[in-house]
């Protein structure tokens, strides 16, 4: 089973949590909105510790290195079978100032032309209700887990 490691960054506004979500870049997601947002995440390098992978991936996709008290959440399994391990951590950043790494893709398909796309094309902060509408369906459980912890004062 493929493994992915990510960070659920949160901040408090008027006593309620807001969640930092990212929208995948590239041509496949350009017209997709609800259900296509995600936490910053990715796969590990050889012999890389899971939390270090999550931090590295967050930094590669946003330009921001999260730090603080990392709270492990129960892993979820996405529709494609990939298991996502996630840590929640409090932080704040300007979502409009993200700097994402890029990837190269033959586009349009079978054109022999390579184009470079950002891995993340935008990021935004959202309250729980809005985040649940936007995030990948299987990742909604990560938001719920955090909310349950927050009700118990983490």
pLDDT at 108 over 80: yes
Listed by start position, the domains of the chain span 3-151
- What pTM value is reported for the model? 0.93
Cis amide prior to 108 (ω within 30 degrees): yes
Q: What is the pLDDT of residue 154?
A: 62
Kindly indicate the confidence band of residue 151, based on its pLDDT and cuts at 50, 70 and 90.
Answer: confident
- Count other Cβ atoms within 10 Å, centred on residue 39: 29
Say if CB 5 and CB 56 are below 8 A apart: no
Q: Are strands 83-90 and 3-13 parallel, antiparallel or unpaired?
A: parallel
pLDDT digit string (tens) for 3-31?
999 999 999 999 999 999 999 998 888 88
Give the 3-state secondary structure of residue 51: helix
Please name the residue that has the structure tokens 């729980």. Answer: 128
- The CATH classification number of 3-151 equals 3.90.79.10
pLDDT digit string (tens) for 82-101?
999 999 999 999 999 999 99
């Amino acid at each position: 089973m493929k493994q992915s490691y990510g960070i659920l960054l949160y901040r408090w506004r008027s006593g309620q949590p807001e969640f930092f979500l990212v929208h995948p870049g590239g041509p496949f997601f350009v017209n997709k909105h609800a259900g296509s947002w995600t936490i910053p995440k990715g796969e590990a390098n050889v012999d890389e510790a899971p939390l270090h992978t999550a931090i590295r991936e967050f930094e590669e996709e946003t330009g921001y290195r999260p730090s603080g008290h990392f709270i492990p959440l129960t892993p979820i399994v996405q529709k494609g079978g990939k298991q996502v391990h996630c840590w929640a951590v409090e932080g704040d950043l300007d979502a409009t100032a993200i700097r994402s790494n890029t990837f190269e893709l033959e586009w349009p398909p079978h054109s022999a032309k390579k184009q470079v796309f950002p891995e993340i094309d935008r990021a935004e902060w959202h309250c729980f209700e809005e985040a649940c509408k936007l995030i990948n369906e299987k990742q909604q459980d990560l938001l719920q887990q955090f909310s349950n912890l927050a009700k118990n004062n983490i």
